[in-house]
Structure 1
């Protein structure tokens, strides 16, 4: 069940403004855009994916996962599985009495608003303190501030809420959301990383398509209504977008406007977002949802470009069929630049390398790259991106690159997330890997080459 499609002009959108936004993303040296779906008045008016990315590819959403979690909490509240005014600790009676009194004052509503009162993100501390039960590892450390009064982006606060929902529901988050949200919205299989086994992370780890992001944004924009039916609990979308805590200590302007239940207030509208440029931007005044997947460490630049180019494009008469067609053609031809290089090296080029935890060797006209856990067999010098779908032992990846004299340079674009690994195989036999955006594993996730989604569960 896809969102309905329309032309920009039919929904009062200037195609040139959308094109200018795309141009701005591509022109920024630190942004690799992956996919975009723009919705106005409930209709997709622009969509595109930068090859080697495709519409049906699951993409790691990082902290945009949190907005799906807060949606799950709405159902759990409606069903009486929990209350926003429950103490988090009361859902863990097996260790509640071990906790400092200040930790026992953290309510579900505080944790959901990143207002547990801790002064720093407790992610590493929680998993180090108790790797078997990170909720206990988190709550054993008393917050420095009164819960509800102090914002800190604090991953285990959200992990704890996710654990409460799953414990009360008797299933993981995907299983819980499937009949309540995912099926009604027509969302195909998604996957959510787990730790420990059977418990979805909640604060990160969801893999979904760009259109799934757009559907989540649209159902929140419409106050929970989807195709004329009330899908979200009545009033929950308004609860999510209500400002709960000040964030004025944040450095970027669109992060300093306040925080709701797993969404950021912004200079325009509000949003869920995730590390390295995963966005679900909701603009109620314009009746717009912008879903974007990308790879960047400059997320503010994406929002700046949206305010500069997209906002003026809404509420106009449209620019007609020619402009709409030109935009569609532009979006249909999107591609990330590939790394060049020849299929063969110089006469003195090496055939094997080792270093930085990797080994590589020439084999059958390509190179075999391994990290002790995952092995990838990569072509060389194809002149563009070659997609390798992977298997049980290797993730889907696109590769480009080749020889420049006696140096072999390869770019590995992991297709289920915002990570690209640049690898140089040097004449002296060493290997130099460099991430474009470094994977955030929180001590829970993957090997260097194993940046992949878990098998879809529902």
Structure 2
């Protein structure tokens, strides 16, 4: 079931503090907020989406997916599918004997804490070494440090844990978690990127709603209890949030507090997070959860704003109905700034453009933008954002912008992701592109548009 709703003041939250937090996000030139949900004492007290993003839209969580993986591991441990003290290599007998001895000492608990002992990120090395079985490609490279002693943000360590779980369960992660987690917390259909087909990435690639993020945070905050019953195995939430390894070499203060099982310790509470501003911040000392999606390369600035603007509002019951109503009105009317432009060029322009792996063709109503996998028909020069829903093969996007003289400048927001693509159609007949935030992918095989093609929901 969905989380209950309440007014901020009824849960001891000053609405003006939430508004101040939103002010800080919107004032930062490098932050595009997409959604926000604040939970206090188990009830949602503030929520908002910046159009063209909407509450029911799935959003790519990037590494926030890891916290869902560590949650899945709790069920798997309880069911005897794996143990934290299993050697990762023992789950892969087909290649175990060819691995370096140091790799055979990596335990599930080490991998789950990104403490495999490797000194850095191994994702591309693992894929290049063995594209058919990246776990083998990863483990063929001996760790430079003793497993468990050294933190490095290292995706294949988590990927290996996800592979173990899915092998043992005989299903992918969405299928495994559907009855155990997603249905009980009221999460609808979602998708998890796979590589190879049939195996969810685990460390990234989950597409879920903001409320699903908030519900996961509330479940962990309540030590695994949901609506009065012990949903997570008893004690697993504490296992997840226990510091496992030092991260003092990390540059930002909220990344240097230590790491648990797929969560970061922080100056306040702990959190799961994903690239470009996907957050599930859990604040036990305030009985609160902050779920947020965004597009930013300055994730520390988001947390700084939360600590300075939002935290003082938690526990302040001095404001009343008027402040609550003002906040609700504000959060119900948020819009990302659109681009502007005319609906037609000032003079003669080409009928088609090519470049950057794209082809554009002018029509009476706008342009058709295509790559080898996906075709999008986009209006040009309309005010605000125009949402173009996918047709099963094309991704849902929102477009703004239009003609300026003899060039067209369009902004495309890929609505199930944190990403915005600027497309320029030049008078010379070329297409030029610029990403607001550059997409990340473990095993990229798509095209500019095709990488966002809809994946099956489960």
Q: Which residue of 2 aligns with 1:218?
A: 218
Are 1:416 and 2:431 counterparts? no
Question: Which 5+ residue runs of structure 1 have no aligned equivalent?
Answer: none
Kindly report which structure 2 residues correspond to 1:317-328, keeping only aligned pairs within 5 A, or say none: 317-328=317-328
Aligned partners of 2:95 and 2:136 also within 8 Å:
yes
Aligned partners of 1:60 and 1:453 also within 8 Å:
no
State how far apart, in whole Å, the 2-side matches of 1:313 and 1:451 are. 41
SS at match of 2:151: coil
Taking structure 1 as the reference length, the TM-score comes to 0.99
SS at match of 2:118: coil
Deviation at 1:339, TM superposition (A): 0.3
Number of corresponding residues:
458
Are 1:189 and 2:207 counterparts? no
Quickly say closer, same or farther: Cα 1:453–1:306, change in 2 above 3 A: farther
State how far apart, in whole Å, the 1-side matches of 2:454 and 2:196 are. 13
Q: Which residue of 2 aligns with 1:384?
A: 384
Q: Which residue of 2 aligns with 1:13?
A: 13
Kindly report which structure 2 residues correspond to 1:25-424, keeping only aligned pairs within 5 A, or say none: 25-424=25-424
SS at match of 1:376: strand
Q: Deviations over 1:134-171 (max 9, x none)?
A: 00000000000000000000000000000000001111
Deviation at 1:431, TM superposition (A): 1.3
SS at match of 2:285: coil
Deviation at 1:373, TM superposition (A): 1.6
Aligned partners of 2:392 and 2:454 also within 8 Å:
no
State how far apart, in whole Å, the 2-side matches of 1:379 and 1:224 are. 47
State how far apart, in whole Å, the 2-side matches of 1:346 and 1:264 are. 53
Aligned partners of 2:374 and 2:453 also within 8 Å:
no
After the TM superposition, which of the residue ranges 199-208 and 371-380 deviates more from structure 2?
Answer: 371-380
Taking structure 2 as the reference length, the TM-score comes to 0.99
SS at match of 2:65: helix
Q: Deviations over 1:262-301 (max 9, x none)?
A: 0000000000000000000000000000000110111001
SS at match of 2:335: coil
Q: Deviations over 1:41-65 (max 9, x none)?
A: 0000000000000000000000000
Deviation at 1:445, TM superposition (A): 5.0
SS at match of 1:276: coil
State how far apart, in whole Å, the 1-side matches of 2:398 and 2:175 are. 31
SS at match of 1:211: helix
SS at match of 1:442: coil
State how far apart, in whole Å, the 2-side matches of 1:457 and 1:416 are. 13
State how far apart, in whole Å, the 2-side matches of 1:382 and 1:245 are. 52
Aligned partners of 1:117 and 1:143 also within 8 Å:
yes
Quickly say closer, same or farther: Cα 1:454–1:351, change in 2 above 3 A: closer
SS at match of 1:21: helix
Aligned partners of 2:358 and 2:448 also within 8 Å:
no
Aligned partners of 2:195 and 2:443 also within 8 Å:
no
- Give the root-mean-square deviation of aligned CA atoms: 0.9
- The runs of at least 4 consecutive aligned structure 1 residues that moved more than 4 Å come to none
State how far apart, in whole Å, the 2-side matches of 1:213 and 1:452 are. 21
State how far apart, in whole Å, the 2-side matches of 1:174 and 1:70 are. 13
Aligned partners of 2:13 and 2:316 also within 8 Å:
yes
Aligned partners of 1:10 and 1:318 also within 8 Å:
no
Q: Deviations over 1:328-357 (max 9, x none)?
A: 000000110100000001113332211111
State how far apart, in whole Å, the 1-side matches of 2:342 and 2:79 are. 61
State how far apart, in whole Å, the 2-side matches of 1:287 and 1:356 are. 48
Q: Deviations over 1:200-229 (max 9, x none)?
A: 000000000000000000000000000100
SS at match of 1:289: strand
State how far apart, in whole Å, the 1-side matches of 2:322 and 2:266 are. 34
After the TM superposition, which of the residue ranges 424-433 and 201-210 deviates more from structure 2?
Answer: 424-433
Aligned partners of 2:53 and 2:415 also within 8 Å:
yes
Deviation at 1:241, TM superposition (A): 0.2
Aligned partners of 1:375 and 1:394 also within 8 Å:
yes
SS at match of 1:285: helix
Aligned partners of 1:173 and 1:202 also within 8 Å:
yes
